[in-house]
Structure 1
Amino acid sequence: MSHRPTISLLLCALLLPAVILLSRQAASSSPPKTASAAKGAAPAQEPDKNTDACALLTRAEIQVVQSEPVEETKPSVQPSGGFVMLQCFYRTTTSAKSVSLALGAPDPAKPSALTPREFWRKQFHPPEPVEEEKHVAGKATKKAEVDREEELRKPRPIDGLGEEAYWVGNRITGALYVLQGDAFLRISIGGGEDESVRIKKAKALAEKALKRVDALPILPAGRNPASAGLGGGSAREQ
């Protein structure tokens, strides 16, 4: 059973900076507006030392991976339901090779709201719904094509990062998602390189960023939520 609808929503909500820069490289249709988008997203907040996602990666680390210097960093904080998205956009000399980083972190103002860890479980480990088979004459071929497309775009487990990691995307755009403790990391790499190369680069940056995640003051100290489980097995690269 495919979880394409929920994963598509996740991509639309979190990959906006990457989609903007990558759209210059390949023509693609605009994603449909969600209900929240129609009403208008919550205004971004000014980051401070407690919420500056740009502290997770240095300019030098970006330059090593992208072979270009970082001209500017743009941090921001975006409320996202019950938690916040701490974001940083690293603009390189060639804008299409820029890097987008985001960290889903608990919102101190909403301690009882949906946590990033719970959000992760809902997105990557949803319960399998029971669906009746519907056979419609003349639509079997079209359904098979849709199923193949969804298979290509479904989250792919990535080994060796955090508690779990997945690559979500396609040949044109995509992002690496990594769960660690009470937060999850998202990294998207710009450039016209093959998807496998972008995954490799995103993994290299994620390894460095994860070493600094726990140092962000916004994250609760001394808490190990891993014991709560995720409702699924450990991610493994395929």
Structure 2
Amino acid sequence: MAQPVFRQIDACSLLTSAEIESMQGEAVTGTIPSGEALSGFPSTQCVFTTVTPVNSVGVVITQTDPKSGLRVRNFGQETFPPNAARRREKRNTTKRKRRRGSFLTSAMKPS
């Protein structure tokens, strides 16, 4: 099987200032590109800055490293196991039902 070829992606080219403005409700004042390894994976990122810092948007592109053979998908599955999310959601749903049930039970009791 052929090794994947690493291709540097310009994260700042994936969104336009107009798209950020339509989402955030204010103009983009600049972009800050950078590239570095995140958890051993080649990554590029871009921060679209706005007047209000909390409205700035960051885009991060992480790729498989063809030299090491590390795969982003495997790393994600090991870091965030799919069943863990389902277990958390089931646990939260059960808690909500219990709270709702105790409220309804107490509200239906005759005074």
Cα 1:82/1:115, change in 2 over 3 Å: farther
1:73 to 31, 45, 62: 31
Contact 1:83/1:116, CA 8 A, preserved across alignment? yes
User: What SS does the corresponding residue of 1:106 show, helix, strand or coil?
Assistant: coil
* Superposed displacement of residue 125, structure 1: 1.8
Shift of 1:127: 7.9
Offset, 1:81: 3.3
Among 57, 60, 78, which residue is 1:99 paired with?
Answer: 57
The gaps in structure 2 that reach 5 residues or longer are: 1-6, 90-111
Aligned to 1:53: 11
SS of structure 2 residue aligned to 1:71: strand
TM-score, normalised on structure 2? 0.60
Distance in 2 between residues matched to 1:82 and 1:93, nearest whole Å: 33
1:63 correspondence with 2:24: no
Q: Which residue number corresponds to residue 119 of structure 1?
A: 75
Q: Which has the higher helix share?
A: 2
SS in 1 for 2:63: strand
Per the TM alignment, residue 122 of structure 1 is displaced from its structure 2 partner at its CA by 0.6
SS of equivalent to 1:51: coil
Q: Report SS of the residue matched to 2:26.
A: coil
Residue 85 of structure 1: SS of its match in structure 2?
strand
Q: Deviations over 1:181-213 (max 9, x none)?
A: xxxxxxxxxxxxxxxxxxxxxxxxxxxxxxxxx
Which structure ranks higher in relative contact order (CA pairs < 8 Å, sequence separation ≥ 6)? 1
Rounded Cα–Cα distance in structure 2 between residues aligned with 1:127 and 1:64 = 36
Q: Distance in 2 between matches of 1:111 and 1:54?
A: 26
Deviation at 1:123, TM superposition (A): 1.6
Q: Which has the larger radius of gyration?
A: 2
Contact between 2:29 and 2:49, CA under 8 Å: does it hold in 1? yes
The secondary structure found in structure 1 opposite 2:9 is coil
Residue among 36, 40, 62 paired with 1:82: 40
Give the Cα separation in 2 of the matches to 1:95 and 1:89. Answer: 11
Q: Is the 8 A contact 1:78 1:84 kept in 2?
A: yes
Q: How does 1:126-165 map to 2 (within 5 A)?
A: none
Kindly provide the amino acid, as one letter, of the partner of residue 12 in structure 2: C
CA distance in 1, matches of 2:55, 2:62: 23
**Aligned-CA RMSD value:** 2.5
